[in-house]
Structure 1
């Protein structure tokens, strides 16, 4: 499996992203350490015995109680954005790899859809070529056997 980092043009970008994610995770961890026992003291549902966070009133109480729900959401959003950015970079790098394998002129600009279509055509042609070579190889082997045992 090819990692996203293998496709990164700039190692600094990767290191920066790792640092940003580390710092965001540290900030979340600090907030969770302060409030990690909220579930022990929160009101319990009579039906499930689990903490009640479903109602708006309880959510507001919890938000005002921990004082960091807005910050937590912001941090989680930043982490999600970072993960999405990394995912898109990985996808784009995969398309670049496919594009480089295609027997086309390097100067041609291709969309992602055209790269996928051209890749499918290329694979289909390779399979046909392989079948043709296997058939020729079998015919040559049969001729050799016929000549040897003639």
Structure 2
């Protein structure tokens, strides 16, 4: 019997505002370095990435300002919910992120958190902040597409 492919369409957390606030140029898949109680909280969906961002310190990519709720049965093994967590990336990927982050107006944001083969993964994107008129154009384009789909349906 063949193994079933694991479906990664189910995300544990998703940053919906990231694509609205930033023009995402490039994405990377990174592993998360978590403790035992943190991975249990992540698997139960107790993670929020809305305010998160990625920083580069001493050749390491760190996921900052992401809240992983304390595991209820974790007692003394629980850690600070908002601590910085290391992202597991290759050196050339970290170099690319570091170069991009040094530019003005560029932010590295987490887009999605999901499980892949039992490991927690984060999809991060290099984003340049959008101006107000860019956001208005996106809203107008989305409304036009919705209206077009509605007309084609009828």
TM-score normalised by length of structure 1? 0.24
TM-score (ref. length: structure 2): 0.23
Whose radius of gyration is greater, 1 or 2?
A: 1
Structure scoring higher RCO (CA < 8 A, sep ≥ 6) equals 2
Structure with the bigger percentage of helix: 1
Is the strand fraction higher in 1 or 2?
A: 2
